[in-house]
Amino acid sequence: MEIPNVVVDAAAAKKETVAKDAQAEVVAVANGEVMPITEVNDPVFSGKMMGDGYAVKPADGKIVSPVAGQVKSLFPTKHAIGLETAAGMEVLVHMGIDTVSLEGKPFTLMVKEGDQVEAGQELAQVDLAALAAAGKEDTMIVAFTNVDQVTFTLDKTGKQTAGTVIGQAKG
């Protein structure tokens, strides 16, 4: 018996993950100064290698969900949280720059994998003084990681309150 050859085009399959014409309001991930992702002091993020998005120079350590969705992954070092919207948009919340080496100490997570979250719901608390003491930047970064399928528009920059709508993501 002969088994037919089946070739799966991963790129084509990936394009199906975000619902056509999907839209999501995006809120500020923290209280503080909102900026385009291109201004982040990290070439991986500022070069949009992880995807388009934005960042916040936080005024305090409260970090909220930028979108409504499901918590898909919590990094063991607690410095990053992966979310996915109902439409399939993948969102990375990265807390601080080069903070993986801190082994999770400055981060207290308020969610677990599988949780459903609303935009503006608290995800984590970050000890900003501990980041400063360790010589780490406290910039909070939000990136839409399925960049080939999602476009992000930042509508508001400057001082913003966590949970305030600052942009739109479209599939």
Give the type of residue at 59. A
In the prediction, which pLDDT does 14 show?
42
In the prediction, which pLDDT does 102 show?
96
Confidence band (pLDDT; 50, 70, 90) for 49? very high
Q: Which whole number is the average pLDDT over 35-61? A: 97
Q: Is the C-alpha dihedral spanning 94, 123, 71, 131 positive or negative?
A: positive
CA angle 79, 84, 85 (to 5 degrees): 135
Separation CA 162–CA 97 (nearest Å): 19
Confidence band (pLDDT; 50, 70, 90) for 147? confident
In the prediction, which pLDDT does 19 show?
85
pLDDT in tens, 65-124: 999 999 999 999 999 999 999 999 999 999 999 999 999 999 999 999 999 999 999 999
Q: Which residues are known to be catalytic?
A: 94
Would you state the structure tokens that stand for residue 146, as one six-digit string? 């399925």
pLDDT in tens, 10-34: 333 444 578 888 899 999 999 999 9
Which domains are seen in the chain, by residue range?
20-170 (2.70.70.10)
In the prediction, which pLDDT does 10 show?
38
* pTM, entire model: 0.89
Nearest CA to 53 out of 128, 141, 127, 160 is that of 141
162 contacts: CB under 8 Å, gap ≥ 6:
27, 28, 29, 30, 31, 62, 63, 64, 120
